[in-house]
Structure 1
């Protein structure tokens, strides 16, 4: 009798198809059964992962059991297809989430035979009106491409598939979506950059514009801004040449300088901004297009810039973090880091303490000064973080700049009151001394 058709133990392969059918009966919704308790879905996902129910790992099994397990997984996938086409958002969401889990957990042979169709079924939900369906579909598509990126044999087809995704994802970044949608879209974009660089290459300018528009929007949390900075810093990898890295770094530094001009326009330190500009754009050279405006209309870029004026510190901090990420990340070509402009930006920020020269007093209200002073500690901290990265990563390249860095450290230490910032400036000094000592020992050894 079927009721007494017992398995050997919990490791018996014969148990797996039975558990799949149990999930379909008890935890996964269908056309008729209502879907009210999402915790049931979590239990199902946990069971799939614990028991490897979708792995179809056939080892020393008879053909009958192989066919039974394969049939059970077929039933599982068909149920998900049914849910994906359901008009009820909750059931559709369940299908999207479970298909993402299936992309992670199924056998390699099933995945390679099915990923194109699965992507075709997931992609329309990226462009739906429902926010939580957008989040789920971005997450599941990211799972699909994470798995697909492991198979070199289908790299060309993977690039083709990724090409169908990139424009809808960039549109999500441009649209005024919730942070949850933005987070899912950025994660998916980072996955595509990591595994399918050539896809990004063809959409480089629009990707840069979309990322920068969000950085400048003033609507993102600090965690989201860091993700956007990481994504922006990764873009040059898609072109794979030194010029792309150098151009992006130049544009970021010019953007930081421009934001500082806006923030510090009434305190009479314009000469510092001119110095940064001179270092980044030599005489006779044309400036690059502003960061993020390669594929934006002039009106759109002005709108983004105006909106960023309301909250300058997050934009500057994010772009500084992006510089740090570009310096610390591995790159497939050797790149020349613009040390002097970077140090000039750091010095420009650290030398501002909120005091006003006599000529600036008539042009700044007490409220404006209070606002600026409230933001300066965060900017100083971010500048010191960037300086730490420069000293830690560039080592021997800093020898020609060591004296100017030491002068900056001494000058700032005399002015710095904050204990937290003094700890960071100590860290810079220690790293610099260690780096220089090692380089001198190396030079003496060569002599």
Structure 2
């Protein structure tokens, strides 16, 4: 639909009859979805006629219709209407460049107020995060104002990360928000990792945090960001396994794992979330080791199966090595290593081994999905891993 006379009429109709107000609240979210689809399909907010010979009267009418649309949305945003907040995010994406540059600062301030305490509704906060993400994403794509976008992003840091530092389970809402905001900010990695290793999160929160951590490399969308995050996560898993499997495996297994993760002559990456070995020693009681490892393995699986803007070289050998290392452990103690491990430590780790084995096989399934082209060249490694898995016949594992 390229009729420049019809677009403003259609937009006015949506503004008048389809946007919620005090007398007509939005009852069906699907209705909002149809509005968004129509606005995007017909580019009703672009103010950009397809023909250079368009009548100026129609262009002015279109501008006036977009003005009315924006004014209605700002009223809805001020009234903390989640639908209006979502549509303002859409407007940030779809409006003309001229309008966006003239308005984004004001829009940002209005949205920012809804994620700063006190916040009455987490639903409004999540919608505001999504809209701010849309605004910052477009701002980040404009070279002349990219620095200002970074400045705005810094204002969002504390309100967004605060749920991650709370002791309550309210951090679950973060998983439903648009993580592009966190992607702009390195401190998000430190906050997420600290929360994962705190030992204060329930299972659902840990899964959400692992998913959030896996999404962080998408901020830059390049090969190096993904590879660095994967290497840091794998090294962190290995460090935790060194503690968890003391006395349950030969020392050579630990040394072999480190050689695969950091080949001789290569420098290791910075620690995940800035956590040093001394930090980890003081923060992780034995009972939290398994939950941390499981969450980080889930992070790896998510990274392997999620879409990414560019093709990435998957570190197949380190992934297989870590999975094999876990599957080798059956809970029995080596007589030579017996003095190292207490009975309580053995019982604790052995009680959690089935869960670790399940996450290991889920990681292998993710590797299969992510690197199918390597299947034949790695057939020997897969055969060995299946042999390890078969020895645990009393457990039920997800199929590969």
Q: TM-score range by the shorter chain?
A: 0.7 to 0.9
TM-score by length of 2: 0.73
- SS of residue in 2 equivalent to 1:126: coil
Calculate the TM-score normalised by the size of structure 1.
0.66
Cα deviation 1:168-226 (Å, max 9, x = unaligned) = 33564366234435633872333664xxxxxx2xx43x232222222222333444434
2:211 is matched with 230
2:321 paired residue among 344, 347, 351: 344
- Deviation, 1:345, is 0.6
**Cα shift readout 1:142-164 (whole Å, capped 9, x = no counterpart):** 13433775799868657743641
Q: How many equivalent pairs are there?
A: 373
Q: Which residue of 1 aligns with 2:361?
A: 384
CA distance in 2, matches of 1:135, 1:98: 11
Tell me by how many angstroms 1:385 deviates. Answer: 1.2
Are residue 314 (structure 1) and residue 291 (structure 2) matched?
Answer: yes
Instruction: Work out which of the residue numbers 146, 151, 154 in structure 1 matches 2:134.
Output: 146
Distance 1:167 1:288, change over 3 A: farther
Which of the numbers 239, 242, 245 marks the counterpart of 1:264?
245
1:216 pairs with 2:193:
no
Q: Against the structure 1 CA distance between its residues 288 and 354, is the aligned structure 2 distance closer, same or farther, given a 3 Å change threshold?
A: same
Partner of 1:30 in structure 2?
none
The runs of 5 or more residues in structure 2 that have no matched partner are 1-8, 46-57
Spell out the pairing of 1:74-93 with structure 2 (5 A cutoff). 76-77=72-73, 79-80=75-76, 83=78
Please state whether the residue corresponding to 2:396 is helix, strand or coil. helix
Instruction: Name the counterpart of 1:95.
Output: 80
Corresponding residue to 1:164 among 147, 152, 162:
152
Which of 229, 236, 240 is the matching residue for 1:255?
236
Q: Match of 1:417?
A: 393
Q: Which residue of 2 aligns with 1:289?
A: 270
Does the 8 Å CA contact 1:138/1:185 hold for their aligned counterparts? no
What is the alpha-carbon root mean square deviation over aligned residues?
4.5
Structure 2 CA distance, aligned partners of 1:146 and 1:241? Answer: 20
Instruction: Please state how far the C-alpha of 1:242 moved relative to its aligned partner.
Output: 3.5
Residues 320-342 of structure 1: per-residue CA shift (max 9 Å, x gap): 12222333344455433322222
Shift of 1:348: 0.8
1:121 Cα shift?
1.8
Deviation string 1:278-305 (CA, Å, 9 cap, x unpaired) is 1122334333221110xx7x69x71696
Cα 1:256–1:24 change in 2 (3 A) is: closer
Q: Once the 2 structures are TM-superposed, how far is the Cα of residue 254 of structure 1 from its aligned partner?
A: 1.1
Map Cα deviations across residues 353-374 of structure 1 (whole Å, 9 max, x no partner).
2222334555545443332222
CA distance, structure 2, for counterparts of residue 13 and residue 409 of structure 1: 59
Equivalence for 2:256: 275
CA positional deviation for 1:314: 2.3
Q: CA deviation at 1:401?
A: 3.5
Question: Do the aligned partners of residues 184 and 240 (structure 1) sit closer, same or farther apart at CA in structure 2, a change above 3 Å counting?
Answer: closer
Answer with 1 or 2: which has the greater Rg.
1
Cα offset, 1:383, TM superposition: 0.5
Is 2:99 the counterpart of 1:118? no
TM superposition shift of 1:275: 0.8
- In structure 2, distance between residues paired with 1:46 and 1:335: 36
User: d(CA) in 2 for partners of 1:394 and 1:67?
Assistant: 49
Shift of 1:408: 2.7
Measure how far apart 1:379 and its partner are: 0.8
Within the candidate set 288, 299, 304, 1:327 is matched to: 304
Q: SS where residue 127 of structure 1 aligns?
A: coil
Worse overlay, 338-347 or 67-76: 67-76
Note closer, same or farther for the CA distance 1:78–1:142 as it changes in structure 2 (3 Å cut). Answer: closer
SS in 2 for 1:354: coil
1:409 CA drift (Å): 1.5
CA deviation after TM superposition for structure 1 residue 311, in Å: 1.4
Change in Cα spacing, 1:286 to 1:131, as seen in structure 2 (3 Å) is same
* SS of match in other structure, 2:197: helix
- 1:404 pairs with 366, 381, 387, which one? 381
Q: Partners of 1:215 and 1:101 in 2: how far apart?
A: 30
Q: What is the match of residue 51 of structure 2?
A: none
Corresponding residue for residue 53 of structure 2: none
Would you tell me which structure has more helix in proportion to its own residues? 1
Q: Which has the higher contact order (CA 8 A, sep 6+)?
A: 2
Instruction: List runs of 5+ in structure 1 lacking aligned partners.
Output: 1-10, 28-40, 84-93, 194-199, 428-447
CA distance in 2, matches of 1:26, 1:320: 50
